[in-house]
Amino acid sequence: MGGTEDSGKNECATKTEEDKHEKKEKSKHKDEDEKGAKSEEKAKDKKKDKDKKKKDPEDKKDLSKLKLKLEKLDAKMQALAIKREEIVKLISDAEKAAANPTAEAAAPPPSA
C-alpha cells in the first residue's frame, strides 16, 4: 500500500508541472496577441495620418472659403459668449447667496 501514496504524489507533481507549462503557453500567446494589437494600432495611426486633409495654400487666397471660415468662427464665438454670460450670472448669484446667507434663512417661504 505504500506504493500508491508515492504514485499519488508523483501525479500531483506532474499535474503542477503541466499547469505551469500551460500557464507559460498562455502567457506567450497573450504577449503575441498584445504585440499584434499594438502593431495594428500603429498601422491605423499611419493610415489616419495619410487620410488627413492636407492644407492647401490656395485656401488662404480663396475669398469664399475665407468667408465661410469667418462665419463659422463667428457662430462659435456667439455661442461661447452666451455660455459665458450664463456662467457669469451663476457666479454672481452664488456670490450674492454667499454674502447674504442669513437673509435667505430668515425670509419666510413663499405662500401659494
Residue 41 pLDDT exceeds 70: yes
Rounded distance, CA 4 to CA 12, Å? 12
Number of other CB atoms surrounding residue 69 within 10 Å: 13
Q: Note down the domain range covering 89.
A: 57-101
Q: Do both 31 and 71 map to the same domain?
A: no
The residue with greater pLDDT, 42 or 74, is 74
Q: Do both 3 and 43 map to the same domain?
A: yes
Report the percent of the chain where pLDDT is more than 90.
31
Q: Do both 62 and 43 map to the same domain?
A: no
Q: Do both 64 and 45 map to the same domain?
A: no
- On the 0-12 / 13-18 / 19+ scale of CB atoms within 10 A, 9 is exposed
Among 10, 32, 50, which residue terminates a domain? Answer: 50
Question: Does residue 110 form part of some domain?
Answer: no
Digit-coded pLDDT (tens) for 48-87: 666 666 777 777 888 999 999 999 999 999 999 999 999 9
pLDDT at 57: 75
Rounded distance, CA 92 to CA 102, Å? 17
